[in-house]
Chains A and B, each alone.
Chain A
Amino acid sequence: MQLITEKGREGRGLSLLPPCDVERAEPAQADCRKIPLGMPSVSETEISRHYSALARRTHGVNDGFYPLGSCTMKYNPKIDEEAAALSGFTQIHPLQPAETAQGCMEVLYLAEKYLCEITGMSAMTFQPAAGAHGEFTGLLLIKAWHHSRGDMKRTKIIVPDSAHGTNPASAAMAGLTVVNVPSAPDGSVDLEALREAVGEDTAGLMLTNPNTVGMFDENILEITKIVHEAGGLNYYDGANLNAIMGIARPGDMGFDVVHLNLHKTFATPHGGGGPGSGPVGCSEALAPFLPGARVQKKEDGSYGWTGAEQTIGSVKAFYGNFLVVVRALTYILTLGREGIVEAARNAVLNANYLRTKLADTYPMAYDGLCMHEFVVSLQSWKEKYGVTALDVAKALLDHGIHPPTMYFPLIVHEALMFEPTETESRETLDEAAAALLEIARLAQTDPEALHASPRTTPIGRPDEVTAARHPVVRG
């Protein structure tokens, strides 16, 4: 398909601005650009049709089942979009006087209050714009806390080998050295390996629970205790909170810092890759280090700003991806205390239901009940039939289903990670299971058919190797 820059004709354009109603002024020639702008010359019709065509070539949650593991692709309620589009939110300047932005401040105040309750934390910042940004922020809190105690030698952060890649990358950005600990055969933290890894140089531990293989680590209290006793702090990666919200809280498990992905657990849309929101909650001991300004409710009921006295500084301009927080608050108000629990229960129910339907056919990487997601390992299929996780994923495209997460976690060979979420109906799960069973039949009888998939998508399998070797990154 043509690029927008390849469409249109010189001289075309939209009529958007009135004539300039003051005397025209110009900067000195030396300050002006000499190279052409080269923006598209297109009519409004062309823009509209171009993007409608691109939209047709994009699969969103609205288009079908999206069981992308660890991404929590639940339905994004439309009322949340309506709330975020209110002019009382969109037209507010971030540097308006506080008394004229009381509504915005109330949004942050309520979101902090409710999310602290859900996570068992004492305070929260909304400045981080995404999960990875939250990780970075949370690790800086840990670093600042150790420094404030004069404990400068704590430079190591323990990360299980099953962790998402952002965990070690965030640790590196925070100037911490990553100590990878191997997982036990059941995917949980190996307690012996952890005991050996901790010491006087331990800054902390980063963990998701349920972990990336979809299992709740039963030893969680022991794990956080080992780290605390060694003088470290525990960081909870909230990527998988959807499984347990309202059922158990990171704070009660011994975690000191938590980041949430509002664009996963709290139903805000992903926008094709963002904007997300990665608020960071922490214990009372860490609150003095939080970034940015925080909202405080004053005695007269109005809201004001308060700065943390030992703040790590700002991790971003202003107060974070505010409109994403508006959506999440709308969602929390809608679900309320029972709805939050209901969502978690059904997320886990749906995952186990789909897992049960597939368990006789697809080799499960781990036994037993799962939480909100489960992982299959197709290593044996690769050996027996020459069919890979990638082949199964691509074949699913022809069934109108977004594939599960592929090749993650890294500790499982030929991994496919399914996370159906609570917003899918039983029929959708049954249809997905039927499609997957049909693909399994083909794996055994006609693997070539799978290698040749997808056949019905706008393009076939792209040549990624050439793309990386001879990068063409602009038109």
Chain B
Amino acid sequence: MGSYVPGTSREQQEMLQAIGLDSFDQLFEKIPEKVRLHELDLPEGLSELAVRDAMEEIAGKNRVFRHIFRGAGAYNHYIPAIVKSVVAKENFVTAYTPYQAEISQGILQSIFEYQTLICRLTGMDVSNASVYDGATAAAEAAAMCRDRKRTVICVSAAAPPAVIGTIRTYAFGSGAEVVIAPQKEGRTDAEALKQLLDGRTACLYVQQPNYYGQLEDCEALAGLAHQAGAKFIMGCNPIALGILKTPAECGADIAVGDGQPLGMPLSWGGPYLGFMAAKENMMRKLPGRIVGETKDDQGNRAFVLTLQAREQHIRREKASSNICSNQALCALTAAVYLSAMGSEGLRETASQCYSKAHYLQKELAKAGLKLKYQGDFFHEFVTESEIPSSVYLKWLEEKGVLGGLPLSRRDILWCVTEKNTKAEMDELVGAVKEVTRLCS
């Protein structure tokens, strides 16, 4: 059996004696006999070598695709080596939440830098230290907008299903009502939306680019929300912000999103990162931790957890959220990624995603997969075809390609990032052509 207990059994006996006991059982005397467990039905423990083999064997049952054209909330971007090296530093990995500022300046400063970079990326005034993921960030943002009169959360039908689902679950808790603004041709239907917004609407949530990859007219949608007196929450893809209009420029009150594209591997869905940034007037409603700059007793620059009067350990049931642990190491990852990329690198990454996605879309159209929605898109787009999606995807899978996500029998949601090369895309298109030819 493996063990991380340093003391030998002799030492343990001596320590028991030091506290005046003879056996371990005496330590647990207060546990009623009726609830004492006599044996745990678990396998025997393993040596480190054996456990490494066991985990490798399990990991080996997964298939690692070399060519990935699937996104839908999890994006296959290049992760610079420096990012992996920094976030593996044991001090960062093994520290707890920085409650003791004097010995946590490194973590605190890194979060402050993360907040700074998120504010710059989104154009917003203030960022928190992270929440769990993009979906929970959206749900938390919606909760920030509620008041006694305004209890309805309006969500675009073109937002990702996971985001809509999470907002609904949080609303089941809080008692808020969720209404879905319909989509038309893959984008939020502004005309239908107008009919839904009223004096009970707390907020409107729109994602940019949306679930289908389409670019929304966020400025106009923000205008509609504001006309109704509601807040506008914009979900953003952080890579797209390298070139796309910021939530601040669109008039958003709160910007949220999933930070996974900023240096986090796919990891079968987590850990990822929820980022949240808001206008200054909503600062005290932001959930979770926020790091602030101050001075120590010698006048040195110092960083601390601040505005804690919002948080659960002070306000208990009146707190703005229950969040305690967040995704600090993922926030650090995002900050190192943004530093490594720099403005130029981030713009280039976004531009390559956009350019390559448009290249692939045109080539796929020639190969028999028609573009479904005609609006512009960032790095994801939907195709439709007469031949079932599954036929294409199965064929691609056999060639070692993870194709787009099947949305229905005929529709596929494709994603292209800077990692996908022209040669790889041409091969994909060749395979698609084969299927179209064979099945037509």
Encode contact with A along B285-323: 1 for CB under 8 Å, 0 otherwise.
000011111111110111110111101111111110111
Among candidates B37, B319, B402, residue contacting A165 with C-beta atoms closer than 8 Å: B319
B387 at the interface (CB under 8 A from A): no
Assembly CA distance A324 to B327 (angstroms): 12
- Name the residue on A nearest B59 (C-beta): A88
Q: Are A334 and B46 in contact (CB under 8 A)?
A: yes
Q: Which residues of B contact A241 (CB under 8 A)?
A: none
Q: Are B102 and A166 in contact (CB under 8 A)?
A: no
A346 at the interface (CB under 8 A from B): yes
Among candidates A39, A249, A342, residue contacting B37 with C-beta atoms closer than 8 Å: A249
Q: Which residues of B contact A106 (CB under 8 A)?
A: 58, 61
Encode contact with A along B63-79: 1 for CB under 8 Å, 0 otherwise.
11100101011101010
Assembly CA distance A77 to B2 (angstroms): 11
Q: Which residues of B contact A82 (CB under 8 A)?
A: 52
Q: Which residues of B contact A406 (CB under 8 A)?
A: 99
Report A155-177 residues with CB < 8 Å from chain B CB: 164-166, 168-175
Q: Are A322 and B270 in contact (CB under 8 A)?
A: yes
Q: Are B107 and A323 in contact (CB under 8 A)?
A: no
Q: Are B41 and A117 in contact (CB under 8 A)?
A: yes
Among candidates B4, B96, B315, B341, residue contacting A423 with C-beta atoms closer than 8 Å: B4
Q: Are B34 and A221 in contact (CB under 8 A)?
A: yes
Assembly CA distance A126 to B346 (angstroms): 33
Q: Are B268 and A169 in contact (CB under 8 A)?
A: no
Q: What distance in Å separates the Cβ of B236 from its nearest Cβ neighbour in chain A?
A: 11
- Name the residue on A nearest B404 (C-beta): A95
Stretch of B164-172, B199-207, B224-232, B432-440 that contacts chain A: B164-172
- Name the residue on B nearest A464 (C-beta): B304
Q: Are A474 and B44 in contact (CB under 8 A)?
A: no
Q: Are B267 and A90 in contact (CB under 8 A)?
A: yes
B281 at the interface (CB under 8 A from A): no
Q: Which residues of B contact A16 (CB under 8 A)?
A: 78, 80, 340-341, 345
Q: Which residues of A contact B58 (CB under 8 A)?
A: 88, 103, 106-107
Q: What distance in Å separates the Cβ of B314 from its nearest Cβ neighbour in chain A?
A: 7
Q: Which residues of B contact A13 (CB under 8 A)?
A: 342, 344-345
Among candidates B7, B113, B132, B313, residue contacting A129 with C-beta atoms closer than 8 Å: B132
Q: Are A323 and B270 in contact (CB under 8 A)?
A: yes
Assembly CA distance A20 to B421 (angstroms): 9
Assembly CA distance A4 to B126 (angstroms): 18
Q: Are B18 and A93 in contact (CB under 8 A)?
A: no
Assembly CA distance A97 to B351 (angstroms): 30
Q: Are A273 and B97 in contact (CB under 8 A)?
A: yes
Q: Which residues of B contact A79 (CB under 8 A)?
A: 48, 51-52
Stretch of A68-76, A226-234, A380-388, A434-442 that contacts chain B: A68-76
B410 at the interface (CB under 8 A from A): no
Among candidates A24, A62, A276, residue contacting B355 with C-beta atoms closer than 8 Å: A24
With most chain A CB atoms within 10 A of its CB, the pick from B60, B91, B119, B312 is: B91
Q: Are B246 and A17 in contact (CB under 8 A)?
A: no
Chain A: residues with Cβ within 8 Å of the partner, total of: 197
B388 at the interface (CB under 8 A from A): no
Encode contact with A along B234-252: 1 for CB under 8 Å, 0 otherwise.
0000000111111011000
Assembly CA distance A475 to B316 (angstroms): 30
Interface residues on B, range: 35 or more
Q: Which residues of B contact A135 (CB under 8 A)?
A: 322
B385 at the interface (CB under 8 A from A): no
- Name the residue on B nearest A458 (C-beta): B105
Q: Are B307 and A468 in contact (CB under 8 A)?
A: yes
Assembly CA distance A314 to B165 (angstroms): 6
Among candidates B15, B40, B80, residue contacting A246 with C-beta atoms closer than 8 Å: B40
A59-B95, A62-B90, A95-B405 as given contacts; A129 in contact with B136, CB under 8 Å: yes
Q: Which residues of A contact B325 (CB under 8 A)?
A: 129-132, 263, 270, 273-276, 278
A424 at the interface (CB under 8 A from B): yes
Q: Which residues of A contact B210 (CB under 8 A)?
A: none
Q: Which residues of A contact B245 (CB under 8 A)?
A: 30-34
Q: Which residues of B contact A271 (CB under 8 A)?
A: 92-93, 95, 327-330, 332
Among candidates A75, A175, A356, residue contacting B18 with C-beta atoms closer than 8 Å: A356
Q: Are B97 and A95 in contact (CB under 8 A)?
A: no
Among candidates A221, A248, A323, A342, residue contacting B267 with C-beta atoms closer than 8 Å: A323
Q: What distance in Å separates the Cβ of A170 from its nearest Cβ neighbour in chain B?
A: 4
B365 at the interface (CB under 8 A from A): no
Assembly CA distance A7 to B169 (angstroms): 43
Q: Are A20 and B356 in contact (CB under 8 A)?
A: yes
B195 at the interface (CB under 8 A from A): no
Q: Are A55 and B92 in contact (CB under 8 A)?
A: yes
With most chain B CB atoms within 10 A of its CB, the pick from A27, A143, A357, A474 is: A474
A16-B340, A464-B304 as given contacts; A37 in contact with B355, CB under 8 Å: no
A285 at the interface (CB under 8 A from B): no
- Name the residue on B nearest A87 (C-beta): B64
Encode contact with A along B98-138: 1 for CB under 8 Å, 0 otherwise.
11111111110111110111011101011101101111100
Q: Are B6 and A37 in contact (CB under 8 A)?
A: no
Encode contact with A along B7-22: 1 for CB under 8 Å, 0 otherwise.
1000110111011100
Q: Which residues of A contact B327 (CB under 8 A)?
A: 129, 271, 274-275
- Name the residue on B nearest A106 (C-beta): B58
- Name the residue on B nearest A246 (C-beta): B40
A242 at the interface (CB under 8 A from B): no
Among candidates A103, A169, A471, residue contacting B283 with C-beta atoms closer than 8 Å: A471
Q: Are B313 and A220 in contact (CB under 8 A)?
A: no
A123 at the interface (CB under 8 A from B): no
Q: What distance in Å separates the Cβ of B339 from its nearest Cβ neighbour in chain A?
A: 5
A191 at the interface (CB under 8 A from B): no
A150 at the interface (CB under 8 A from B): no
Known: A270-B97, A322-B271. 8 other contacts (CB 8 A): A82-B52, A90-B265, A130-B325, A273-B325, A275-B330, A316-B132, A352-B27, A475-B293
A-B contact pairs, 6 of them (CB 8 A): A4-B113, A44-B82, A79-B51, A93-B68, A339-B1, A348-B28
